[in-house]
Chain A
Amino acid sequence: MRGTGVGLGYSPSKFPGVSLFLLGLMGLVGGCQRAEQPAVKAEIQVEIEPSPPKVGQADLAIKLTDGAGQPLSVGALEVEGNMNHAGMKPVFTTLREAEPGQYVGTIEFTMGGDWFLLLTGQLADGRQIDEKVDVPGVQRP
């Protein structure tokens, strides 16, 4: 399975008219936002076993490379699994680095449906990796 990385963070409004409606709150919320650290744009390859993924424990293998195809080494990759419907309890796991840029571990899908994985890690030079990978169609056994 090949995932398309989607940068996280806080999206701006798409239409200015709506923004005007809540201008006061924007000042409050926006004014207090923390500054985000610059994130690395990573190419991600995800393999889940069983495939297609099923509810329960699954083996997870993730390969991270940069734009030039060089492995991105972060030591340990933090993974948060969640569903795309609000109201779901996330699952967390840490993947160990089996070889440079290759991360392996397990994750438990607690419910059937569409999931996404949030990947976070920090490179040796301090740059942050924050990526989202969709895992659609987790099936009930």
Chain B
Amino acid sequence: MKGCSSLPPETASQLPPTDSAHRFDLLRTPMIGPFLQWRKSRMTLQALVFIVSVIMAAHAFWGPQLAPKNLGALLTWVHFRGLVVLAVLLAGNFFCMACPFMLPREIARKFFTPRWNWPRRLRNKYPAIALFVGVLFAYELFDLWGDPWWTGVLIVAYFAAALAVDAVFRRASFCKYVCPVGQFNFLGSTMSPLEVAVRDPDTCTRCSTKDCIRGRRFDVEYERPSTANADALPIIQRGCELALFQPRKVGNLDCTFCLDCVYACPHDNVGLLARLPGETLAEGRSRSGIGSLNDRSDWTVLIIVFVFGALLNAFAMTSPVYVVEQTIAQYTGLTVEWPILGMLFFAVLIVEPFVLLAAAAVCARLASKRTDTVWSIINRFTRSLVPLGFGVWLAHYGFHFFTGALTVVPVTQHAARSLVGWSVLGAPQWQLGGLPESVVYPIELGFLGLGLLGSLLVAWRLAADFAPLRTLQAFAPWACLNTVLFASACWILTQPMDMRGTFLGG
């Protein structure tokens, strides 16, 4: 076979065991498969979402400054967020695949090539974590859910940041190190039923070209794809820009579903394969482009923000947060919101996780009679919180989406009427909303319940790996922690929503 040779036996033995031949492969299905294998499919999807994004931004700035009547606010905070988490739950990271922020960058890169590599010291998740927290903070401080203009600023800023970073730095630096939405999707898609993976590991064992990560270059002299080591030749198909080498790739972390590896593989050996959601969270072995999660503190911090940020984001839309903030204001004498909000974020994103995770880790350490450091145990077990955290995001975003999915119809009709002066799409059908709250509430509880179940299963597997002879003892503290977080999420869902606009009389 062209481009294949034998690899050392120890390399082959490191490949993950798989029964890919029997797994569902989305790329083998009719209609969807051929479309996704078409090399312009990603750009087509990006162009469609880009057009919608431009409409959203325009309406955010120049449409009515009432969130329920503005396409920028409505599509951003109801439909986009809801569809992202549902797509991740039901399929995979398809938002990153269709990411509109990458389209200007793709076009720009046809005219110039970035020169620099992303700084070595920043090759971790901390820049994205800072932005993730920043977006959550701005969301609360500026009441973004109810402010079309600031929502528009956020959309435009996102496009500008993506273009600026990838104009300067090579590969997919923005996606891998900067984009908070991407990190959210990476963690969420650990719960997806699909992953980009090799179909037959033996084929990779014999492959010598590694096009899936190196890309394919064009041999001008012979006018054919080159298999030679000629880095100066133009790339005709890039490999993975996030440094994920398919044979060593584990799960969906850092995978944008761009399918570059699918197009680059000369053996048609990469597919969109079915797998058990959450399964790879229990994996401790080294992953391509990431290493072992047991050694990645930045991933642990990201997971903490993902999980506790989910609770904070939902809690901040309820009545009790109003009482908490008024109490802080009363005791401190503060009359402006941002320091009070800062205290709340500090308490929920730093103090609370530190106390809870350290307590669980110390208990697990004592119960399992291990000598690992507390931080290494936290590094190992924090992954068990991801399913529950994703369940909280699903419940929160799902609530807004399910209760307001059809409101896009009258808002679009209203926008069209305002634009052209007559009801070109018909009179706004304001009676269209979504599912009643009473119907959505059990769905929310179902998401939380599934999240808790997933977290307990992952915690059990991590405990079995951590302390094979005292698995139950190592598992129990993390089961308690997950249960406490589940209970707090259930309590949050019972609270009346959206009191934040009245904070300090604002």
Contact = CB atoms under 8 A, between A and B. Distances in A.
Interface of A: 8-11, 13-14, 18-19, 21-22, 25-26, 29-30, 32-34, 82-90, 92, 111-114, 116, 118, 132, 134, 136-140
Nearest to A110: B437
Interface stretch (B265-273, B415-423, B456-464, B465-473): B415-423
18 contacts: A8-B66, A18-B61, A19-B61, A22-B57, A25-B54, A25-B62, A83-B68, A84-B146, A84-B501, A86-B74, A86-B146, A87-B407, A88-B404, A88-B433, A89-B404, A112-B319, A118-B66, A137-B499
Contacts of B64: 8-10
Given A11-B149, A89-B432, A32 B419 contact: yes
Interface centre among B61, B400, B437, B496 (most CB of A within 10 A): B61
A115 to B, nearest CB: 9
Contacts of A88: 68, 403-404, 407, 433
A106 B119 CA distance: 62
Interface in B358-412: 400-401, 403-405, 407
Interface string B142-164: 01011001001100100000000
Given A10-B63, A19-B61, A113-B497, A34 B418 contact: yes
Nearest to B151: A86
B156 A136 contact: no
Interface string B28-61: 0000000000000000000000000010011101
Contacts of B67: 84-86
Given A18-B61, A90-B430, A113 B400 contact: no
B288 interface: no
A34 B433 CA distance: 27
B190 to A, nearest CB: 27
Interface string B13-31: 0000000000000000000
Contact of A18 (B153, B431, B432): B153
A8 B66 CA distance: 9
A91 B203 CA distance: 62
B501 A22 contact: no
B502 interface: yes
B68 A85 contact: yes
A136 B58 contact: no
Nearest to B417: A34
Give 7 nearest A-B pairs by CB, closest first.
Answer: A87-B404, A89-B433, A112-B496, A113-B498, A87-B78, A136-B502, A84-B146
B434 interface: yes
Contact of A86 (B145, B317, B420, B421): B145
A89 B400 CA distance: 11
A51 to B, nearest CB: 15
A82 B319 CA distance: 18
Given A85-B146, A87-B407, 7 more contacts: A13-B149, A19-B61, A25-B62, A26-B62, A86-B77, A113-B496, A137-B502
A131 to B, nearest CB: 13
Nearest to B422: A34
Contacts of A86: 67-68, 70, 73-74, 76-78, 145-146, 400, 404, 407
B65 interface: yes
Listed residue (B54, B418, B498) with the most chain A CB atoms within 10 angstroms of its CB? B498
B74 to A, nearest CB: 4
Nearest to B496: A112
Contacts of B433: 88-89
Contact of B421 (A14, A26, A34, A112): A34
B199 to A, nearest CB: 41
A14 B59 CA distance: 14
A93 to B, nearest CB: 13
Nearest to B145: A85
B146 A32 contact: no
B410 to A, nearest CB: 9
Contacts of A138: 496
Nearest to B400: A87
A134 B76 CA distance: 23
Contacts of B431: 89
Contacts of B419: 29, 32-33
Contacts of A132: 66
Given A83-B68, A84-B146, A92-B430, A32 B420 contact: yes
A89 B145 contact: no
Contact of B149 (A14, A29, A134): A14
Contacts of B418: 33-34
